[in-house]
Structure 1
């Protein structure tokens, strides 16, 4: 693997921070493109495993960024990726939320809020598709992965069950070696 350029890593995560509509996980496809495809700093398996490990752990959803950084360059990599992904979005959210609170009855603010829902959903679907690819392309995992996706979709559409239970179920299925 080529050496990791911490400044380039920081600047890329800084830019992605502003694209993280719906949470940091929505930028996983772009992170994959940059870290795995373009730079070759990480393998596809390491990328997917890093996200899976972080998502299984308790705590904020954004922890996967620290795990990616750690796997790239140890503590310095974790610090650089977290600072890059958190700094711009935090400052922007503070400013925007204060402005939106003061203007919440304005039709433009209400329209913007309504329009963000489909965008967020699309980004989450793209992330799920990216994370499922290694399992869908492996013949020994394809059927079980498709069944797990179908069950999860059915539960999400037909019940009010929290997605946390589906993540837990997926973890159990994976730990038992069924996927």
Structure 2
């Protein structure tokens, strides 16, 4: 734990994750670049390697991808930090989704609704792609690691292979000492 559990750290996390939650089109993974920038570069809550490790743990854990927020909060301020970060990341979007969904159904056939929905798809995909690039740049420290990332991405995209097999293969390569 690098931060204390004082009110300032918890308030800072709450404000940061609450505002981030409202701009995270595509879910928590779409916000990874900004989470990394704030956690590592701006607030110095963790190192780039710790962030990459936290991301890996979040991806391997069952449940939603938003668990990375709880892990960052825990790293910074223990259990209070995990709770504050999670509530701040999920609360505002839950309220906004509830309010918008009540109005959204009234405009099913509206042209602006169709245009807005279609326009948000590439935005979400771009944010998620940026997240992948940030994590790959942080985690890949050699030619073999870059090759593993590229091959994994191609195999995951081109096949229906269960991603756990790709994780297992990466683990074997890591245990062999090649990475």
TM-score bin (small chain): 0.7 to 0.9
> Pairwise mapping of residues 64-83 of structure 1 onto structure 2 (< 5 A)?
64-83=68-87
Shift of the 38–61 alpha-carbon distance from structure 1 to 2, 3 Å rule, reads same
Aligned-partner Cα distance in 2 for 1:42–1:151: 27
Cα offset, 1:3, TM superposition? 4.1
Aligned-partner Cα distance in 1 for 2:38–2:120: 25
Q: Retained in 1: the 8 A contact 2:136–2:149?
A: no
Local SS of the residue matching 1:16: helix
Runs of at least 5 residues in structure 1 that lack an aligned partner in the other structure: none
> Pairwise mapping of residues 10-159 of structure 1 onto structure 2 (< 5 A)?
10-136=14-140, 138-139=141-142, 142-153=143-154, 155-156=156-157, 158-159=158-159
Aligned-partner Cα distance in 2 for 1:48–1:135: 6
Q: Retained in 1: the 8 A contact 2:18–2:88?
A: yes
The two structures have a TM-score, normalised by structure 2, of 0.87
Q: Retained in 2: the 8 A contact 1:48–1:131?
A: yes
Aligned-partner Cα distance in 2 for 1:17–1:48: 20
Runs of at least 5 residues in structure 2 that lack an aligned partner in the other structure: none
Local SS of the residue matching 2:65: coil
Cα offset, 1:106, TM superposition? 0.5
Local SS of the residue matching 1:112: helix
Cα offset, 1:71, TM superposition? 1.3
Hey, which bits of structure 1, 4+ residues long, moved more than 6 A?
none
Flag the structure with more relative contact order, 1 or 2, with Cα contacts below 8 A and sequence separation at least 6: 2
Cα offset, 1:146, TM superposition? 2.7
Q: Retained in 2: the 8 A contact 1:51–1:68?
A: no
Aligned length: 171
Cα offset, 1:2, TM superposition? 5.5
